[in-house]
Amino acid sequence: MSAFPSQALESVFNKFPPPQNPNFSYGTAGFRLGASKLDSIMVAVASLAIVRSLSCLDETSTPQTIGIMITASHNPPQDNGVKIVDPLGDMLPQDWEPLATKLANCATFKEFEKIIKPLWTKYSSAASSKPAKLVIGRDTRESGPRLLRICTELFDSFSDKLVIYRNFEELSTPELHYITRSFNDVSFGVPSESGYYDKLSNSFLRILKLYDISPDVLVSTTVDCANGVGADKLKAFLETSPSLSSKFAIVNSDTADPLQLNVQCGADFVKTNQKLPNGIDSDLASKDLSLCASFDGDADRLVCYFCDKPSKKFILLDGDKIAILLSRLISTLITQLPENNLEIGIVQTAYANGASTSYIVNKLKLPSVCAKTGVKHLHHEAMKFDIGIYFEANGHGTVLFSEKFTAELKKFEGHSKAAEVLLLLKELINQTVGDALSDLLAVVASLAILKVDAAEWANTYHDLPNKLSKVVVKDRNLFVTTDAERRLVKPPIQSKIDDFVLQTKQGRSFVRPSGTEDAVRVYAEAETEEECLRLAEQVVHLVENYS
């Protein structure tokens, strides 16, 4: 058995020492904070990723490939973050998160070794000392290359072949998830960026062909890429799919200036401020037969929007609207199958607009589940359905198709167009994680197939006025929630919130601690703008008085 590489690890650990009293936490999005504080965390994450790979053996007892993604998504340019991706492209299991936190909080190598060595030795022995396998990528942030090099320096420091890794440098988050899975599951795709682009464009163009839709008649889409990695990747995708290039115009694609990332643009800016990003004016946004879209900084979120022509009013098509559009297409296709007993379900969070949930339950008559915030929670719930559609209101989501779905539909292949399209949707829509590019293509295809334009899509239902506020408190851990984060257990202010809600027409409000920022979030919605603002103010006040 190969020995635990104590010396090599110790020397890299000491080169990037943790702060005096580290207090990091592997949260909803892995570790995410100011980039200058991440060096020691990279050592902890890279080491844990090795152990995770050694612990995930395939049927030949060979370690499976684990992903490491360096990104802070929609956060400001000076932040960065890192997360571990499991063999099937899903997130690190929750029961491993405390281990990541513990490792990151070791102040000395002695403490670090005490935790990592027994695990490394145990799993390495089960893997008959075969090397761990890793893939690594980063977004366009200035700190990305430096943080990535800390990982590769660690891997390269082992004299034995303890780790085999592939460094992809710049990737979008969904690409990294796709590539990780493809290394472990050849049927999923070719583990490269070109494999990813081919999978998307082939499935998209084949769907259009089944309906005799020429790419020329698709809605013309202007895509705000947040000056992030999505810009480079969308350009590369369009280069490999020339028949689509005239239908997508890219704005906010300045990745050369890292300080522009997410500034006045991107999915989070558009959703939070409910207004157009830099680079798209209301004339452009109100052009006939067109649509606007925004990716976030690592291209795993999508929101769409346009401006109403006469009034120039901004109209947002957020994650809720995307979920409903895709559900409409999928439900329609399911009803066209000769027979089936497939269960479709939609998973949202408490942030979903109440009008969208009513539409799902009352009009689409589909089961609706409310999960805790954070895609890992939604993903988990969506897996319980044969077709699980999940989206956070902020545009992060996807559609998961189960093995039962594939088995059932294969029966109809060759004699049911609907079955063929559904199977192609499984190829088009990223099965590992939310994916702005793949979701955008699915949206554009849905609009063409359903013969719906952006205005008609927006009119499916009307959002209740809503407001999301952030309250900075002394200790957000004092706020404890239950019922998928819709009710507070502590501090004792829930009954007061209930009273305010009861006094508000169609009122709804909840308070939860953020998993990614040192703050508490307050959400409020109501029948009118005025009532919504009043409810938000009342609840924010309550929270402020308790902190």
Q: Active-site residue numbers?
A: 73
Interior angle at CA 233, CA 202 and CA 32, nearest 5: 125
Q: Which does 298 bind (CB under 5 to 8 A by kind): ligand GN1, Mg ion, none?
A: Mg ion
Token pair of 460, please?
Answer: 């499916």
519 Cβ contact list (under 8 Å, min separation 6)? 470, 471, 472, 473, 476, 513
| Locus of tokens 């949202």 | 348
Binding residues for substrate: 392-394, 512-516, 521
> Cβ 61 to ligand GN1, closest distance in Å?
35
> Cβ 319 to ligand GN1, closest distance in Å?
9
Indicate the angle between helix axes 173-184 and 436-450, nearest 10 degrees: 90
- Per the CB < 8 A criterion, the answer to whether 199 and 191 are in contact is no
Q: Which does 375 bind (CB under 5 to 8 A by kind): Mg ion, ligand GN1, none?
A: ligand GN1
- Per the CB < 8 A criterion, the answer to whether 46 and 154 are in contact is yes
Hey, what amino acid is at 199? K
> Cβ 308 to ligand GN1, closest distance in Å?
25
Cα distance from N-terminal residue to C-terminal residue, the chain: 54
By CB under 6 A, what part of segment 209-268 binds ligand GN1?
none
Q: Which does 373 bind (CB under 5 to 8 A by kind): ligand GN1, Mg ion, none?
A: ligand GN1
SS (H, E, C) 63-92: ECEEEEEECCCCCCCCEEEEEEECCCCCEC
Note the residues at the interface with Mg ion (CB under 5 A).
73, 296, 298, 300-301
Q: Which does 48 bind (CB under 5 to 8 A by kind): ligand GN1, Mg ion, none?
A: none
Query: Which has the closest alpha carbon to 467: 508, 525, 517, 417?
Result: 525
Between 104 and 375, name the residue whose CB sits nearer to ligand GN1: 375
Between 144 and 434, name the residue whose CB sits nearer to ligand GN1: 434
> Cβ 191 to Mg ion, closest distance in Å?
22
- Per the CB < 8 A criterion, the answer to whether 464 and 354 are in contact is yes
Q: Could you please report the per-residue DSSP string of 99-127? A: HHHHHHT-SSHHHHHHHHHHHHHHHHHHT
Question: Is 29 among the residues that bind ligand GN1 (CB under 6 A)?
Answer: yes
Q: Which of 444, 521, 526, 539 binds ligand GN1 (CB under 6 A)?
A: 521
Between 396 and 486, name the residue whose CB sits nearer to Mg ion: 396
> Cβ 350 to ligand GN1, closest distance in Å?
9
Binding residues: 73, 296, 298, 300, 392-394, 512-516, 521
Q: Which of 517, 533, 541, 547 binds ligand GN1 (CB under 6 A)?
A: 517
Angstrom distances, CA of residue 310 to CA of 275, 313, 452: 17, 8, 20
Q: Which of 264, 515, 527, 541 binds ligand GN1 (CB under 6 A)?
A: 515
- Per the CB < 8 A criterion, the answer to whether 292 and 285 are in contact is yes
Q: Which of 392, 408, 420, 427 binds ligand GN1 (CB under 6 A)?
A: 392
**Cα separation, 523 vs 502, whole angstroms:** 15
Question: Is 373 among the residues that bind ligand GN1 (CB under 6 A)?
Answer: yes
CA Rg value for the chain: 23
Question: Is 375 among the residues that bind ligand GN1 (CB under 6 A)?
Answer: yes
> Cβ 305 to ligand GN1, closest distance in Å?
17
Q: Which does 189 bind (CB under 5 to 8 A by kind): Mg ion, ligand GN1, none?
A: none
256 Cβ contact list (under 8 Å, min separation 6)? none
Of 195-203, 371-379, 416-424, 497-505: span binding ligand GN1 (CB under 6 A): 371-379
CA torsion angle 204 210 214 220 (round to 10): -40
Of 168-176, 404-412, 425-433, 515-523: span binding ligand GN1 (CB under 6 A): 515-523
Between 227 and 348, name the residue whose CB sits nearer to ligand GN1: 348
- Per the CB < 8 A criterion, the answer to whether 493 and 475 are in contact is no
By CB under 6 A, what part of segment 331-370 binds ligand GN1?
351
> Cβ 274 to Mg ion, closest distance in Å?
19
Question: Is 396 among the residues that bind ligand GN1 (CB under 6 A)?
Answer: yes
> For residue 368, what are the β-bridge partners?
346
- β-pairing, 220-224 with 487-490? unpaired
| Locus of tokens 């690594």 | 136
Phi, psi of 313 (to 5 degrees): -75, 135
Between 301 and 372, name the residue whose CB sits nearer to Mg ion: 301
Binding residues for Mg(2+): 73, 296, 298, 300
By CB under 6 A, what part of segment 62-121 binds ligand GN1?
73
Task: Number of residues interacting with ligand GN1: please give it, by CB under 6 A.
Answer: 15
**Which residues contact ligand GN1 by CB under 6 A?**
28-29, 73, 351, 373-375, 392, 394, 396, 514-517, 521
